[in-house]
């Protein structure tokens, strides 16, 4: 069977595809996600998983204790039919409580047998059903092998409070793919460093798509230098995200970046939750990581880089349709914003490292 790659940016279509694939599972279903909603969409997923578990399919769920919550009563029917559920890093009162409890598993994978895999930005929730996302469905066996290895490593080390074993942050380079497993670290930040290198290598175009835009100093510097050497740097962000405080803090940076030649596109048809980077129309990155301090410093994330024309063509259409629904950045309004707005930005700015 030929390898297939399908980009989903519509959550309803994504969830329907996931549930159809799970319903056809013959051996196993593995899910790793930050948030599994205890809502209407979570109920639909639970029903499919319940039925497959009764058929004898091996099912494992790795859910983050912050994003999903630790109350397992919603999942008890699954547990009763043999589904294995592990909560990543439950809250504990211990030394370094703030830092350790702040480190979350933000990775998102759904694997069916050894035949189908999904990765990207979407959580399994009803409240985000109308959000603009970016997710990849693939039947590429080389990718699926690495996805399954990544899941197994995360599942095995799901509740550790010490440094992860090497396997949980290994980067895989194979064929034209690079698969990065990132982990909480104030210095290495592998996905961020890869983004810096990609932007530094750009000759024509950089597209950054993220719901939360709080890049650190080096990333801002690379973006501005790219724009100054003639690279068309585009940043796609929601006009209003679901985290208002991030929108306020990001406002502090927009003017200077705009002055350097960076173009901002504000998605206005709802919330943009997609996370991607594309360089010169030749290299793409689809990730679970936001373009902010929190993802790069404190969270377990994954990112997939590649050069597949089949994916690049779909991303081109995705970006074009997204930009059609975007408004522009009004520099004059930014300059003339009220003093109280600037004061609020200044007060909140030190908290950017937690955002």
Residue 93: pLDDT band with limits 50, 70, 90: low
Query: How do residues 15-38 score in pLDDT, each as one tens digit?
Result: 999 999 999 999 999 999 999 999
| Contact predicate 85/58, CB 8 Å | no
Average pLDDT of the residues of the chain: 92
Q: Which of 315, 262, 321 is nearest to 286 (CA)?
A: 315
The strand pairing partners of 25, in sequence order, are: none
Q: Which two tokens stand for residue 136?
A: 């990849």
Q: What pLDDT score was predicted for residue 270?
A: 93
Lowest mean pLDDT among 226-230, 324-328, 329-333, 343-347: 343-347
Answer yes or no: is pLDDT of 95 > 80: no
Determine the pLDDT at residue 164. 59
| Measured distance CA(312)–CA(43) in Å, rounded | 34
Q: What is the pLDDT of residue 97?
A: 46
Is a pLDDT exceeding 50 seen at residue 77? yes
**pLDDT tens per residue, range 260-277:** 999 999 999 999 999 999
Q: Give the pLDDT of residue 184.
A: 83
Q: What local confidence, expressed as pLDDT, does residue 62 receive?
A: 95
Residue 351: predicted pLDDT = 83
CA atoms within 13 A on the CB side of 20: 7
H/E stretch holding 204 reads none
Beta strand pairing call for 276-279 and 205-209: antiparallel
* 47, 77 contact by CB (below 8 A): no
d(CA 226, CA 202): 7
Please state whether 89 falls in left (phi above 0), alpha (psi between -120 and 50) or beta.
left
Q: Taken in order 221, 226, 229, 232, is the CA torsion positive or negative?
A: negative
Q: CA–CA separation, 140 vs 142, rounded Å? A: 6
Report whether pLDDT(156) > 70: yes
Q: Is 31 exposed, middle or buried (0-12, 13-18, 19+ CB in 10 A)?
A: buried
- Mean pLDDT computed over 129-146: 97
Note the pLDDT tens digit of each residue in 294-335. 899 889 999 999 999 999 999 999 999 999 999 999 999 999
43-74 tens-digit pLDDT:
999 999 999 999 999 999 999 999 999 899 99
| pLDDT over threshold 50, residue 96 | no
Query: pLDDT over 90 for what percent of the chain?
Result: 82
Going by C-alpha positions, the residue among 110, 137, 144 that lies closest to residue 32 is 110
pLDDT, tens digit, for every residue of 186-225?
778 999 999 999 999 999 999 999 999 999 999 999 999 9
């Amino acid at each position: 069977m030929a390898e297939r790659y399908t980009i989903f940016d519509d959550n309803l279509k994504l969830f329907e595809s996931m549930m159809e694939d799970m319903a056809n599972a013959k051996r196993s279903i593995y899910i790793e996600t930050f948030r599994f909603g205890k809502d209407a969409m979570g109920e639909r997923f639970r029903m499919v998983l319940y039925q497959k578990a009764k058929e004898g399919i091996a099912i494992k769920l790795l859910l983050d204790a912050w994003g999903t919550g630790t109350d397992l009563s919603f999942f008890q029917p699954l547990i009763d039919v043999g589904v294995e559920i592990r909560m990543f890093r439950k809250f504990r009162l211990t030394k370094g409580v703030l830092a350790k409890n702040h480190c979350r598993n933000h990775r998102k994978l759904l694997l069916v047998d050894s035949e189908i895999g999904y990765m990207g930005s979407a959580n399994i929730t009803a409240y985000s059903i109308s959000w603009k996302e970016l997710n990849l469905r693939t039947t590429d066996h080389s990718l699926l092998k690495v996805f399954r290895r990544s899941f197994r490593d995360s599942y095995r080390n799901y509740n550790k409070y010490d440094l992860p074993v090497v396997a949980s942050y290994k980067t895989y380079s194979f064929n034209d793919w690079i698969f990065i497993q990132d982990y909480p670290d104030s210095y290495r930040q592998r996905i961020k460093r890869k983004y810096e290198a990609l932007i530094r290598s750009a000759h024509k175009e950089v597209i950054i798509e993220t719901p939360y835009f709080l890049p650190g100093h080096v990333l801002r510097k690379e973006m501005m230098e790219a724009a100054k050497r003639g690279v068309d740097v585009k940043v796609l962000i929601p006009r209003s995200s679901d985290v208002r405080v991030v929108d306020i803090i990001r406002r502090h940076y927009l003017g200077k970046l705009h002055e350097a030649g960076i173009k901002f596109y504000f998605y206005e048809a709802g919330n943009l939750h997609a996370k991607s980077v594309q360089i010169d129309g030749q290299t793409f990155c689809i990730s679970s990581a936001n373009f902010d301090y929190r993802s790069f410093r404190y969270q377990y994330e994954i990112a997939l880089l590649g050069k597949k024309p089949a994916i690049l063509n779909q991303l081109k259409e995705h970006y074009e349709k997204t930009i059609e629904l975007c408004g522009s950045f009004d520099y004059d309004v930014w300059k003339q914003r009220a003093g109280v707005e600037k004061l609020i930005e200044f007060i909140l700015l030190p908290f950017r490292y937690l955002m």
